[in-house]
Amino acid sequence: MKNNQEDERLKEQLEKEYNSIKIPSGLKEELWTQISTTRKKRRIYSKIFPFMAVATFIIILIPLGLSLISSDSARNPSDSIAAKEEADIRTIEAVIKNNFTGPDEKWLRLMNNMSSVEEGEIKGLSEYEEGLYKEYFASDRAYVEYVSRYGSVVWNEPARYHYTLRVLEINCEKTSSDEIIYNFSAKIEYRKQDSSTAEVGTITGQANLNEEHKIEVMLINYFDLINEFE
């Protein structure tokens, strides 16, 4: 109702202005026809504009939605599994590399400094081992069990016979167990001090991890490698 009243007032104003213009009558009629046509178009456009806006929104939204659906459906569940296994393997590899690369100069200094022994423990050794291994284990207990079996224990024989170790290759394979268990093997280079040649040995083992890719239990068979030093 309000819009109709405004249209009538606008029409009256245009008619007054139209009648006040002194131009030939034929041209005046043509001008009025064009004004009326323009006003009608504006009214029609104002009515259909909301529908045009909605239609445009739908046209844009539907392809976008379909593309998002296609993207989600294209994600392969196996990709998530592979990513988890890669994280597990990185943990296992880090521990093997840290424990079978060395012994390094810092460890040798700690072991050879008899004045650093306090109450049967070598001062600084605990902190040294924590820096190498602790972050990869699920708990303090899991970490302590590992370093008590391996850790510095692995380096005692190479140091005794003046060998240094270096990891060449690591292979990990997930077992079919319901738990997160991997079998692994690694090729370890061992070189005698001042020697120009090196030999290669093999270690094998198994690691049990949790969902956070931390080790709960890790067992390593490295005795065949150690026996080659003698």
pLDDT of 39 over the 70 cut: no
Q: Which amino acid is at 149?
A: R
pLDDT of 19 over the 80 cut: no
Q: Count, in order, helices (H) and strands (E) of the chain.
A: 8, 6
Q: Which of these three, 15, 41, 74, is where a domain ends?
A: 74
CA 169/CA 157 separation, integer angstroms: 21
Nearest CA to 166 among 136, 206, 135, 203?
203
Residue 173 and residue 184 in contact, taking contact as beta carbons nearer than 8 Å: yes
Taking the whole predicted model, whether its pTM rises above 0.75 is answered as no
Q: Which residue has the higher pLDDT, 50 or 132?
A: 132
CA 71/CA 65 separation, integer angstroms: 10
Q: Which of these three, 74, 93, 124, is where a domain ends?
A: 74
Domain count of the fold of the chain: 2
Confidence of residue 8 (pLDDT cuts 50, 70, 90): low
Per-residue confidence (pLDDT) for residue 51, from 0 to 100: 44
* Core vs surface per residue 108-133: b (16+ CB within 10 A) or e: eebbeeeeeeeeeebeebeebbeebb
**CATH code of the domain in which 103 resides:** 3.10.450
Same domain, 94 and 172: yes
Per-residue confidence (pLDDT) for residue 30, from 0 to 100: 53
